[in-house]
Amino acid sequence: MSPDEMWTDSEREADPIPEPTFGTVRRGYDPDEVSTYVKTMTTRVRSLEHRAAELESELKQARHLAPEDAGSAGDPYAAISGRMADAVRAFDQDVEQMRGEAEAEAKRILDEARADADRIRVEARSTAEKTLKESRARADARLSELESRRRSLMNDLRTVRERMLESVSSLDPILNVEGAAQKVVIPEEGIRTP
């Protein structure tokens, strides 16, 4: 493959890399961090594209300057092979560095997500325990209130029973027909009173 064939015309004249935009979502990535990272990567890619264009230009110049030396020097690509190797090596190093940065960023984001999940779980458990404690306290207060009311109603019933017994006792001599003793039964918790 000749050096002219290394890049196609479309690659040489590619549109500039557009500035990416991201939508924001709840609990998603921090938009400022994403923008900063993308701008950094865009700058780096543009720099590499610029460097590739420079190397291509140097290659063309080297071909035009040394056509008469081509026969005597042997391989016309030998002079530029070192530069190309350096460019490819630098590109590979940049790719590895970007991959390492991306992996580190992914790990950081995952660690943050795990920490958030743990925090949310602890908060939810705490809220649930607090709500349960408050509900039990309200239930206990309501039971106490109902028990107090039950006692009050029982006392009122006893008072009414005693008054009824007194009324019946005072009416007993009046209602005592032909000397027959009549018994009045007023039930209270299964107790019979004559």
Tell me the pTM: 0.34
Helix, strand, coil share of the chain (percent; to 5): 75, 0, 25
pLDDT at 167: 83
The more confidently predicted of residues 99 and 22 is 99
Does position 75 have pLDDT exceeding 80, yes or no? no
3-state secondary structure of 70: helix
| Domain-wise residue ranges, the chain | 3-141, 142-179
Q: Rounded CA gap, 37 and 22, in Å?
A: 12
pLDDT at 2: 40
Q: How far is CA 48 from the centre of its chain?
A: 37
What is the number of other CB atoms lying within 10 angstroms of the CB of residue 41?
15
